[in-house]
Amino acid sequence: MAVSRVDLTTLVKPPKERMSLDEFLAWLDEDVWAEWEDGEVIVLSPASYQHQDIFGFLYALIRFFVELYDLGIVLAAPFAMRLPKSQRVREPDLLVVLKEHLDRLRETYLDGAADLIVEIVSEESWLRDRGAKFAEYELDGVQEYWLIDPINKRADFFVLGDDGRFQRRTPDAKGIYRSVVLKGFKLKVDWLWQEPLPKVSEALRWMRRGRR
């Protein structure tokens, strides 16, 4: 099962290259896949098939888990997230908002940080995801950040510490990562590099066995 996104970057263009934050948020709708940095509108590049395939797999797993245990909501790009401290608007590939933070949800954007963010790295986004976005998500209090890099077959997981800084979390000796934000959610990291990816139904059955 894969969830795909339509390439909208060829269909939607900003009315002007530079906008105020209020103008950008007013322009946003479900057809817009763009980010905002200091007045500059950045229209994001279309995703590759591999990016979409991994995205769809993770989206299905996480959404099922969040709905099953009534933890909150799962959203995917194009859906904007306004970061008030960083003064940026980003569109993460996938974000989770826990029930206690659903008051941040607006019609076309999230007004504040998500609890968990997943970015699937592409050649075009590598520096942004590991540099600017890493710093912004840390500053604005994202509790857990996953960086999935299919090009280098690498997955990095970070959890916000008591000092407000991201701390790296690693999978266990069996290659299984356990989420901090989503208690009981576990992921075999090697699944992400399989061709084809595992069936979502089989992954879910494995994940639900022995949930702690």
Could you tell me if residue 37 is inside a domain?
no
Angle between helices 49-68 and 200-208 (to 10 degrees): 40
Res 18: pLDDT: 81
The yes-or-no verdict on residue 44 having pLDDT over 70 is no
Query: Does some domain include residue 9?
Result: no
pLDDT tens-digit readout, 66-92 = 999 999 999 998 899 999 999 998 999
Average pLDDT of the residues of the chain: 86
So what's the pLDDT on residue 29?
Answer: 66
- Indicate the residue type of 186: K
The pLDDT value given to residue 105: 97
14 in a structural domain: no
Task: Write down the pTM of the prediction.
Answer: 0.79
User: Is 169 part of a structural domain of the chain?
Assistant: yes
pLDDT at 65 over 50: yes
Residue 25: predicted pLDDT: 74
Least Cα distance to 36 among 104, 88, 114, 102 occurs for 88
**pLDDT exceeds 60 at position 8:** no
Give the count of domains, the chain. Answer: 1
Give the ranges where the chain is alpha helix by DSSP (H): 21-27, 49-68, 126-127, 133-139, 200-208
Q: Is 110 helix (H, G, I), strand (E, B) or coil?
A: strand
Residue 167: give its domain's CATH number.
3.90.1570.10
Residue 149: give the domain boundaries.
48-80+91-98+113-208
19 assigned to some structural domain: no
